[in-house]
Amino acid sequence: MINIPKGTKDVLPADSYKWQYVEAKAREISRLYNLREIRTPVFEHTELFSRGVGETTDVVTKEMYTFLDKGDRSITLKPEGTAGVARSFVENGLYSTPMPLKMYYIIPAFRYERPQAGRLREFHQFGVEVYGSTTPDTDAEVIALAHDFIASLDLKAKLYINSIGCKTCRKKFNDALKDYLRPNLERMCPDCRARFDKNPMRILDCKVPECKEVTAGAPVIVDYLCDDCRAHFESVQKYLKIAGIPYKINPKIVRGLDYYTRTVFEFVSEEIGAQGTVLGGGRYDGLIEEIGGPSTPAVGFAAGLERLLLLMEKSGAEFPQEPAPVVYFAGMDAACREKAFEIAVALRKAGIPCEIDHMNRSLKAQFKYADKLQAAFTAVIGGNELSAGVMNVKNMSDSSQHTVPFDRAVEFFAR
């Protein structure tokens, strides 16, 4: 017996309708905002992620599925969606197509993490990328899309936003932050001590209690924004108000990478406790340049589908069931079975879902099975019916009986 690898999960036939429901919502909302899907490979050259995700991040240093292929190339299963989209944008010269380029993806992604509820080694993401526009209404539109997606799943999550400024304002902020942290550096965790020189802003993100204590009164970047960044942030907020989307400013939300700029945001649910972020995103105007393309502004987000599904289940959200077959055919002998098969072919051609017995069950067992299937009708074709050219149809909801000629079957069930 070979078991499933640690940190992965099967989606069984009885549960896949839940996934399809969430994915359909993602596609439907994307269409409302005029986004089109982009599909990129499951694996890429490792270098793409060290440059596109960031060499110092946990994802790149500890969590990637990296291997040499038979041609000795270093290959990595994608740990997130953005880098591949950015690579495709540059490689296919999409920057010379009309802007903005509005895209979404639904992908599996891979991280070697300690598996826990809602966090697997193979997980799935719905992500959005909008390239080519610097305007604050673009940020607001991406946030509105995220908001509509979450709302369409009947989930409640609070929106927190922040601005992390541009290179200019961040330099001033980093200096102020380092001055504040320096006297307490010894009390902080080894990761934060390493971040102090490379990327001090990420210290604000640390979950270690001692570090949180130290950073509690730290300067906040919104106080250090340059005039342009401040105006951008205020405008994003104005657009969120126009959209009627409530939000709070959380100065602790940071995206530690150099290519992140200005707007960052998170949707946080209080229902899953410590790992409450269900969707996160922001603006990353420096990414395309970082991976070798022409300077191109970008804004987007990603949401983990496992976590959303977990949250929906916990909050008792409704997943519409897949429709049951309309008709179940119960036949008793070979001739009747052939007739049932023939009518099923005609019904399917007419777009009417149906099922026939494939197991040679007894008639009683077939009725039981029809009940289990929740078929709307059961059609019985026995010897008498076959010679009369009719079938005996039972409406399963009110138990009414109908005699339906074979040649009127499509008409009868199409109602």
By CB under 5 A, name the binding residues for Zn ion. 165-166, 168-169, 189, 192, 206, 208, 211, 226, 229
Of 142 and 169, which CB lies nearer to Zn ion in the complex structure? 169
User: What are the residues facing 103 on neighbouring strands?
Assistant: 36, 129
Of 173 and 329, which CB lies nearer to Zn ion in the complex structure? 173
Of 195 and 394, which CB lies nearer to Zn ion in the complex structure? 195
Cα–Cα distance measured from residue 361 to residue 371, given in angstroms and rounded to the nearest whole number: 14
Least distance CB 230 / Zn ion (angstroms): 8
Least distance CB 200 / Zn ion (angstroms): 11
Rounded to the nearest 10 degrees, the angle between the axes of helix 136-152 and helix 227-242 is 40
Of 151 and 208, which CB lies nearer to Zn ion in the complex structure? 208
Of 36 and 167, which CB lies nearer to Zn ion in the complex structure? 167
Q: Give the position of tokens 């895209």.
A: 103
Of 206 and 317, which CB lies nearer to Zn ion in the complex structure? 206
Tokens for 255?
């995206």
Cα–Cα distance measured from residue 335 to residue 241, given in angstroms and rounded to the nearest whole number: 68
Least distance CB 210 / Zn ion (angstroms): 7
Cα–Cα distance measured from residue 406 to residue 329, given in angstroms and rounded to the nearest whole number: 12
Least distance CB 193 / Zn ion (angstroms): 8
Least distance CB 228 / Zn ion (angstroms): 6
Least distance CB 187 / Zn ion (angstroms): 10
Q: Letter for the amino acid at 105?
A: Y
Q: Letter for the amino acid at 5?
A: P
Least distance CB 35 / Zn ion (angstroms): 28
Of 262 and 394, which CB lies nearer to Zn ion in the complex structure? 262
Of 38 and 166, which CB lies nearer to Zn ion in the complex structure? 166
The set of residues, in sequence order, having a beta carbon less than 8 Å from that of 373 and lying 6+ positions away, is 324, 325, 328, 355
In terms of C-beta density within 10 A (0-12 exposed, 13-18 middle, 19 or more buried), how is residue 410 classed? middle
Least distance CB 63 / Zn ion (angstroms): 18
Least distance CB 212 / Zn ion (angstroms): 8
Least distance CB 118 / Zn ion (angstroms): 24
Of 192 and 330, which CB lies nearer to Zn ion in the complex structure? 192
Tokens for 46?
């490792």
Reading phi first (left if > 0) and then psi (alpha if -120 to 50, else beta), residue 245 is in: beta
Cα–Cα distance measured from residue 281 to residue 160, given in angstroms and rounded to the nearest whole number: 11
As a whole number of Å, the CA-based R_g of the chain is 28
Q: Give the position of tokens 């399963």.
A: 396
Q: Give the position of tokens 């050219």.
A: 389
Of 263 and 378, which CB lies nearer to Zn ion in the complex structure? 263
Of 150 and 192, which CB lies nearer to Zn ion in the complex structure? 192
Least distance CB 215 / Zn ion (angstroms): 9
Cα–Cα distance measured from residue 208 to residue 172, given in angstroms and rounded to the nearest whole number: 26
Backbone angles phi, psi at 70, to 5 degrees: -65, -15
Q: Give the position of tokens 């009127």.
A: 408
Cα–Cα distance measured from residue 177 to residue 201, given in angstroms and rounded to the nearest whole number: 8
Q: ∠ CA 233-52-83 to the nearest 5 degrees?
A: 90
Tokens for 45?
């050259």
Backbone angles phi, psi at 348, to 5 degrees: -65, -35
Cα within 13 Å of Cα(164), Cβ side: 25
Backbone angles phi, psi at 259, to 5 degrees: -80, -5
